[in-house]
C-alpha cells in the first residue's frame, strides 16, 4: 500500500516564459524549405528516370514484337513454299495426299501475321495467292476426272 505521506506535494505549473527571438530567426525555416525542395527534386528525377526506363523497356518489347512478326511471317512464307513444292511433285507424280491438301488449307486459313513489314507482307501474300491458284487447279482436275 501507498502511504499518503510518501507522495510528493504537487508542483504548480509554471507560466510559460516568452521565447526570445534571436538574429537567426527564419533561417531554420529557410533550411527546412530548401531541404524539402531538394527531396522533391530527387523524387521527380527518380520518377522521371523510372518513367524513361519503363519507356525504354516498352520500346524494346515493341522491337521484339516486330522481330517476332517478321520471323513468323518469314516462316509462314517458307512453309507455304514448301507446300507449293509438294504440290508440284504431286502434279509430276500424278498423286496427291488428301492429308497434305488438308494441311495446306489449314495453313492458308491461319492468315498472315499482323505487323509484318509491307515488303515481306506483299511477298507472303503473293505466295498465298499462288497456293490458292494451285489448290483451285487441283480441285478442278478432281471434278473433271471424278
d(CA 95, CA 86): 11
Bigger pLDDT: 146 vs 135: 135
Question: Taking the CA atoms of the chain, what radius of gyration do you get in angstroms?
Answer: 41
In a domain, 86, yes or no: yes
Neighbours of 76 (CB within 10 A): 21
Residue 53 has pLDDT above 70, yes or no: no
Residue 45 grid cell = 528525377
Does the pLDDT value for residue 114 go beyond 70? yes
| pTM of the complete model | 0.54
Number of domains in the chain: 1
Residue 15 lies in a domain: no
96 within domain boundaries: yes
DSSP state letter for 115? T
User: Are the C-beta atoms of residues 96 and 90 closer than 8 Å to each other?
Assistant: yes
pLDDT value, residue 129 = 93
Beta-carbon contacts of residue 72 (< 8 Å; ≥ 6 apart): 113, 116
Which distant-in-sequence residues (6+ apart) come within 8 Å of 138 by Cβ?
Answer: 87, 91, 96, 101
Q: Is residue 12 part of a domain?
A: no
Residue labelled with grid coordinates 507446300: 83
Q: Which of 66-75, 108-117, 125-134 has the highest mean pLDDT?
A: 125-134
Residue 19 lies in a domain: no
Which residues span the domain enclosing 43? Answer: 29-145
Mean pLDDT in residue range 48-66 = 61
Is the pLDDT assigned to residue 50 strictly greater than 60? no
12: left (phi over 0), alpha (psi -120 to 50) or beta: beta
DSSP reduced 3-state for 135: helix
Amino acid at each position: 500500500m501507498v502511504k499518503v505521506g510518501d507522495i510528493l506535494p504537487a508542483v504548480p505549473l509554471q507560466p510559460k516564459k516568452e521565447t526570445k527571438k534571436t538574429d537567426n530567426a527564419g533561417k531554420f525555416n529557410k533550411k527546412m524549405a530548401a531541404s524539402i525542395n531538394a527531396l522533391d527534386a530527387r523524387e521527380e528525377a527518380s520518377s522521371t528516370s523510372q518513367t524513361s526506363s519503363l519507356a525504354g523497356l516498352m520500346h524494346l518489347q515493341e522491337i521484339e514484337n516486330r522481330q517476332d512478326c517478321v520471323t513468323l511471317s518469314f516462316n509462314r512464307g517458307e512453309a507455304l513454299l514448301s507446300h507449293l513444292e509438294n504440290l508440284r511433285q504431286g502434279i509430276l507424280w500424278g498423286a496427291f495426299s488428301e492429308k497434305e491438301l488438308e494441311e495446306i488449307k489449314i495453313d492458308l486459313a491461319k492468315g498472315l501475321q499482323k505487323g509484318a513489314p509491307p515488303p515481306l507482307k506483299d511477298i507472303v501474300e503473293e505466295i498465298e495467292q499462288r497456293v490458292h491458284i494451285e489448290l483451285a487447279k487441283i480441285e478442278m482436275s478432281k471434278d473433271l476426272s471424278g
